[in-house]
Structure 1
Amino acid sequence: MGQLTYLLVDGENIDATLGNSILGRRPQPEERPRWDRLLTFTQETWGQDARGLFFLNASSGLPMSFVQALRALGYTPVPLSGTAEEKVVDIAIQRTLEALHERPDDVMLVSHDGDFLEAVTPLLDGERRVGLIAFEEFRNSGFHQLVQQGMEFFDLEHDTRAFNTTLPRLRIIPIDEFDPAAFLQ
């Protein structure tokens, strides 16, 4: 497989899903993913170096403290700007996925967004690993077919252990993972 994994983070999508669909409010800092754990998870899961690209809509300014924190964690921030009608993060991630067609590297995408299906599909060529990190119940249904074609799926909370708190999610539990103690509190 590839020599390097590119971890492409759609932070806006993760934050919106966390806030709107799971918590029903803006996430508190302690309720957000520990981004360094995603980078470590990616490296350990596929046993190779990972380069994290964190895409940011900076049309209204650059959140410098967040950018500095991302850099300290080993990410390359990708600040983007455009018109209010342009989904600059989606456009940039799609272009990055398309550029990766020409490279042998593996790809791990962190998003629920179906806008990436068309750009991800050609990467499932059997010569590289392609993964998706998301909340299983909120990922676009088109990713189900891609998993059948070889895309690996990892749950953002349960597989990566990226959170310090347990999120209030209703998740279907495989019987092999069922622990009654979790419900007898």
Structure 2
Amino acid sequence: MEAAKAKASLKQLKPIEATKESFKEYGQVIEASPDGDEFGPDDAQLDLSKGIPRFYIMNLQDRPLKFSTITHHASVSQCLGSIGGHAWYLGVAKPSITGSEEIKSEDGNAPVQSHCGHFYVPPAIDDVCVFRISGPKFLKLNRGTWHAGPLFKADAMDFYNLELSNTNAEQSTHTSL
């Protein structure tokens, strides 16, 4: 029985084009707006209040269209976009941070405490979907949104990334699917 558990299952997911409507449960799709527009609901609604923001260009190599782990950042919203508007993909699942170890998921799974201290319910593989992001737009992930990627077909791509300065060191929680 343990050998069966250890053997990974493969699930093929059909990508959904990321639009404001299709992505709203996970965050926002931000598209170009005219210079001079005032701040409004179509702008990224950021939560960077728990640390020092970090905005940088991330060079990624060899990120094929597959994944076996998924990550969330419990303290920050995150923005990702490809430089040049090239197509890329992101696996996502809804945030599952809970207020305590007592709150169970709808399917009865008990929360796990992260190394950061917060409690979360790991997403089920059936709760993960994949979005295709193309053209001059970026994604703002809601705080706690699970994500795998960016993934892409090219050998390498550059992305801009807005998160906290300590997101990768202290604020990330990873889990296997």
Give the TM bin, normalised by the shorter chain: under 0.3
Which structure carries more helix by proportion? 1
Higher relative contact order (CA 8 A, sep 6+): 2
* More strand, by proportion: 2
